[in-house]
Amino acid sequence: MQTVLVAGGAGYVGSHCCLALAEAGFRPVVFDDLSNGHREHVQWGPFEAGDIRDRARLDAVFAAHRPVAVLHFAARIEVGESVKNPGAFFDNNVGGTITLIEAARRAGVNALVFSSTCATFGDPVILPMPETHPQAPLNPYGRSKLMVEQALADYDRYVGFRSAVMRYFNAAGADPQGRIGEWHEPETHAIPLAIQVALGQRPHFTIFGDDYDTRDGTAVRDYVHVLDLADAHVSALRRLLSGGASESYNLGTGAGTTVRELVDGVGRAVGQALPVQVAGRRPGDAPVLVGDNAKAREQLGWRPSRDLDAILSSAWRWHQAQALAGR
C-alpha cells in the first residue's frame, strides 16, 4: 500500500480526499496544525501534528512515513482576512508551501497535488472559465495561490518536480454517510449559512445583490460536490505516479446555480422555505463564476457525478447531525 502525505488533511476538502484515497487503496498520513482542521476528521490513517513552515518537523514526518507523493491543502483561505492581513497569507500559503516542497524533494518525493482556486483568475472574461483564462487575482488570498502555481511551474521547468494544480470553484456537500462534512469557524460559506437559518441558528439568509445581469438577478456560482473533487485528486495523483507531466485543471461542473436557486434548493432539502433578506452587492463579487472542466474530462476521465440536490441533502444531514450533537 502506497503512503501519501496529506498536508491540511484534517480540513474540509482534505479530509474528504483522505476518504477517497483510502477507498482507492492508498494510506493517507495527515499532517495538520489543526488551526482550521479538526482532529475528529482524521479517520483513514495516521495523524501527525505540525506546521508546513516547520522544516525539521516535516523532515521527521517524511522520514517516518516515506510517502510517494504529497497532497497539499494546508492554507489560509478567508478572502476578507487576506485583505486585512496579507502578510500572514503570503507567509503560510507561499512560504509554507515552499518549505513543504523542499522537504518533499529532500525525501526524494517528486509529485505534489496542489489545492488551488478559481480566485487566481479574478473577474471572468470567458465563460465557462478554461485553464487558459487570464489570471488576475482580486485579493491576497487568490494572489498567494497564484504565486504557488507560478513557483510550481518553475520547480517543474528547472528541477523536474512535477505537480497537478487543482483549481476549485465552490466545494460543497458532505460524506453521505455523515462521517465528515463542512465545518468552518467562523462559517462564511453559502450552503452552511443557509442551513444554519433552517436550524434556527440565524434569523435569515442574506442575498448580496439581486440586480446582476443573470437569469434571476442574483450571482451565479459553480457548486461541486466535495467527493467529486476528491475523485479528481485521486485521478491526478495516479497520473503523476504513472509519470504524467505537470498540469493544471479547473474543477467545476460547467453549469452554474444562482443564489436564489441555491436557497430554494436548501429549502427543498430541509422541507421549509427560508427567510431571506436582500442587501447590496459586495465589492469584488463577480456576477458569474463557472468552470470549464473539459481538460479534466479529457486527461483525468473526471466528470462530477453528484448534482445540486445530492450536495444539499448530504450537507443538510451533516449539519443537522452536528446540531443534534451540540456542535
**Sequential DSSP letters for 175-212:** -TTSSS----SS---HHHHHHHHHTTSSS-EEEE-S-S
197 and 111 within one domain = no
195 and 168 within one domain = no
Q: With respect to residue 184, please indicate whether it lies within any of the assigned structural domains.
A: no
260 and 237 within one domain = no
Q: With respect to residue 286, please indicate whether it lies within any of the assigned structural domains.
A: yes
Query: Partners of 224 in the beta sheet?
Result: 171
pLDDT in tens, 57-92: 999 999 999 999 999 999 999 888 998 999 999 999
Which of 141, 168, 212, 223 is flagged as catalytic? 141
Q: With respect to residue 129, please indicate whether it lies within any of the assigned structural domains.
A: yes
Domain span at 199: 190-221+254-324
Q: How distant, in Å, are the alpha carbons of 192, 282, 325 from that of 209?
A: 19, 7, 35
269 and 144 within one domain = no
162 and 70 within one domain = yes
233 and 111 within one domain = yes
112 Cβ neighbours under 8 A, 6+ residues apart: 69, 70, 71, 72, 101, 104, 152, 161, 162, 163, 164, 240
What's the mean pLDDT in 19-44? 97
3-class secondary structure, 236: helix
What's the mean pLDDT in 14-34? 98
Q: With respect to residue 177, please indicate whether it lies within any of the assigned structural domains.
A: no
Q: With respect to residue 179, please indicate whether it lies within any of the assigned structural domains.
A: no
Q: With respect to residue 280, please indicate whether it lies within any of the assigned structural domains.
A: yes
Task: Confirm whether pTM is higher than 0.75.
Answer: yes
Q: With respect to residue 24, please indicate whether it lies within any of the assigned structural domains.
A: yes
48 and 20 within one domain = yes
Q: What percent of the chain clears pLDDT 90, i.e. is strictly above it? A: 91
Predicted local distance difference test score (pLDDT) of residue 215: 96
What's the mean pLDDT in 1-9? 98
Total structural domains in the chain? 2
Rounded Cα gap, residues 211 and 194, in angstroms = 20
Q: With respect to residue 304, please indicate whether it lies within any of the assigned structural domains.
A: yes
Query: Partners of 164 in the beta sheet?
Result: 113, 247
Number of C-alpha atoms within 13 angstroms, CB side, residue 49? 4
* Mean per-residue pLDDT over the chain, rounded: 96
299 and 202 within one domain = yes
Highest mean pLDDT of the ranges 123-127, 150-154, 188-192 = 150-154
CATH of the domain at 146: 3.40.50.720
92 and 42 within one domain = yes
239 Cβ neighbours under 8 A, 6+ residues apart: 164, 247, 299, 300
246 and 299 within one domain = no
CATH of the domain at 264: 3.90.25.10
Instruction: Verify whether residue 141 is a known catalytic residue.
Output: yes
96 and 68 within one domain = yes
Check whether 179 has a pLDDT greater than 80. Answer: yes
What's the mean pLDDT in 230-256? 97
Check whether 104 has a pLDDT greater than 80. Answer: yes
Select from 204, 232, 251 the last residue of a domain: 251
247 and 103 within one domain = yes
